[in-house]
Amino acid sequence: EREQLKGLRKLPAVTRDNTAVALQANLELPRDLDHALENGAQGIGLLRTEFLFMNRDQLPDEDEQYTVLRSIVEGMGGRTVTARTMDVGGEKLAGWMAGRYGEPANPALGLRAVRLGLREPKLLETQLAAMLRAGVHGPLRILLPMICSVAEVQRVREMMGQVARRLRRRGVPIADPLPPVGVMVEVPGAALSADALAYAADFFSIGTNDLTQYTLAIDRGDEQVASLYDPLHPAVLRLIQFTIEAALRARIPVSVCGEIAGDSRYTALLLGLGVRDLSMVPPAIPLVKRRIRKLDLQEATRRARVIMDQSDSGRIAALLDDFNTVD
Ligand code: PEP
Ligand code: MG
């Protein structure tokens, strides 16, 4: 089995009826880069830059961030790196935040991710500057976490424009053209605004971990309610579907980067809903690729339609299981 998966590394991720799917890696730490390459990742679909901000007292300056990002961009040898601005806050609480803002009453609904970056512009400006500079060394896209509104995207874009002008004035080389700016769709309000957001964003990445948490009001880390955490809940699936359709209509790329993207049980459904780009933990890539190579996309599309008519997630899981075993 191991050998068989290894053999898949060089084979393309195409369905039996010849549709190609991009399989990318989620990276939490720079040292995972080798695993991404070993497993045949076509790019980094989600670089969680939180590691730069956690477990330390001193925040990283622009040069430190630039150096780390540059090594990842160069390490990917021409494959695109999607760098997400820091998603600090929520369950990823950094010690220095408590010092500044106290303990949040409800971290998941508090000052987190892009909200923190807009509250502390220096923080986000520094990170955007490092990203613009790293983009000189290979293809890089910028991804914004926890976006809720078009206005937030516009504010970050303005900030990026200012940062770019400042760097150019100083003669610092930056990506030209400026990197695409994408939106994480991981809050139900964002998913329901996907049609508007699709015009403000250059691409979407659907974060099903948070989308499930916030749609069902289930803390993703709380063991007491873990059995209720269900990405196959019809409400979650409808938000995913609505988001994909908005992206396809606006002709912007859309990928899925939550844990379900790396679980081959869900592959047929995601493809059937129109996704052609999945980002996952590196070791999942060969497993998902094997599923894709056995899959008939036309059939998956038909079955996705049947699934989207169901009201019960147990039934949905059974339909998926059924398809995964016969196919
Ligand atoms: C998500 O929420 O699905 C996601 C990919 O982001 P994170 O897990 O880093 O919150
Ligand atoms: Mg998230």
ipTM comes to 0.99
> Has residue 196 got a pLDDT over 70?
yes
- Whole-structure pTM over 0.90, yes or no? yes
| Confidence band of 155 (pLDDT split at 50, 70, 90) | very high
Give counts: helices (H), strands (E), the chain: 15, 8
Q: Which residue's C-alpha comes closest to atom 9 of ligand 1?
A: 48
Residue with the bigger pLDDT between 107 and 99: it is 107
Residues with Cβ–ion distance below 5 A, ligand 2: 186, 207, 210
24 Cα to the center of ligand 1, angstroms: 15
Ordered alpha helix ranges (H), 217-296: 234-250, 267-272, 285-294
Q: What is the pLDDT of residues 54-65, one digit of tens each?
A: 888 788 999 999
Give yes or no: 257 in active site: yes
Which ligand 1 atom is the nearest neighbour of the CA of 84? 9
- At 40 the pLDDT is 96
> Has residue 41 got a pLDDT over 90?
yes
| Confidence band of 101 (pLDDT split at 50, 70, 90) | confident
**Among 209, 239, 240, 270, residue to substitute to test ligand 1 (most atoms within 8 Å of Cβ):** 209
> Has residue 7 got a pLDDT over 90?
no
Please give all residues whose beta carbon lies within 6 A of any atom in ligand 1, as ranges.
46, 48, 87, 186, 207-210, 257-258
Q: Give the number of other Cβ atoms within 10 Å of residue 58's Cβ.
A: 7
- Nearest to residue 178, comparing CAs of 205, 151, 158, 208? 158
- At 177 the pLDDT is 98
Q: Give the number of other Cβ atoms within 10 Å of residue 3's Cβ.
A: 6
Considering every ligand atom shown, identify the ligand nearest to the alpha carbon of residue 147 and give its number.
Answer: 2
| Confidence band of 96 (pLDDT split at 50, 70, 90) | confident
Q: How confident is the prediction for the chain on average, in pLDDT? A: 95
90 Cα to the center of ligand 2, angstroms: 9
The answer to which of 54-58, 134-138, 198-202, 269-273 has the lowest mean pLDDT is 54-58
